[in-house]
Structure 1
């Protein structure tokens, strides 16, 4: 084999290896979950805690099921100089599977990007709406 051919073969092998490494890294990066997917996974892991909070906050509503609209998940802030938080639309159902109401649950995690615990929760007061319906 001539020297020229050996150099060309070495360069070609190097180029193939570089493209191979780039494609492997690209595929690996594509299969890694996005930040939003990690945040939603965190909330799904705490779904029972969220449900208990909603039910305990609204005992008159007799909520038996909370349906979370995961595609509505957003990271927001409530105004200037406030910390970012998660919002998620919810639908509530009674034991007869009748829809009671819908609204939003707000979650403040310890770290907005890589949460490990929930610091604070808030949601609509659905019991108040029931009282207004019964009195009005």
Structure 2
């Protein structure tokens, strides 16, 4: 009799343990990854990045591009460090278009957020 009770209790503990692990694991899947947070951050600041490219980017100014449209390759977002001891930045590929949807150029811009893992504001764009 005691043996059957022990087996039932052991089975109950195993089932409860599996359920708890499943719940904890399921909650982790719902949390966005670091890259997903970074992409969401950049999408939220897309207008600021567009203003930078059109009016402040030295590269675009030197080339004298007349930009009509800008496309961001959100899948290209990555962390980069340009030089030793410099802060990490987020790099994103950009395509710029002129009249008649003509592809003028493609390049990367670099965004320095306030916090790389959970960014909330832009400190600098290059």
* TM-score of the two chains, using structure 1 as the length reference: 0.83
Matched residue, 2:84: 80
Matched residue, 2:120: 116
Q: Please state if 1:93 is matched with 2:97.
A: yes
Q: State the SS of the aligned residue for 2:101.
A: coil
**Aligned equivalents of 1:116, 1:13: Cα separation in 2:** 45
**Aligned equivalents of 2:2, 2:68: Cα separation in 1:** 79
Deviation string, structure 1 residues 66-118 (Cα, Å, up to 9, x no partner): 11111111101111111111111100011421111111111011111111100
Deviation string, structure 1 residues 7-44 (Cα, Å, up to 9, x no partner): 21111101100011111211221221111111111001
**Aligned equivalents of 1:80, 1:102: Cα separation in 2:** 26
Structure 1 residues without counterparts, runs of 5 or longer: 123-136
**Among 85, 104, 108, the residue aligned to 1:104:** 108
* TM-score of the two chains, using structure 2 as the length reference: 0.89
**Aligned equivalents of 2:15, 2:7: Cα separation in 1:** 12
**Aligned equivalents of 2:16, 2:67: Cα separation in 1:** 59
Structure 2 residues without counterparts, runs of 5 or longer: none
Matched residue, 1:51: 50
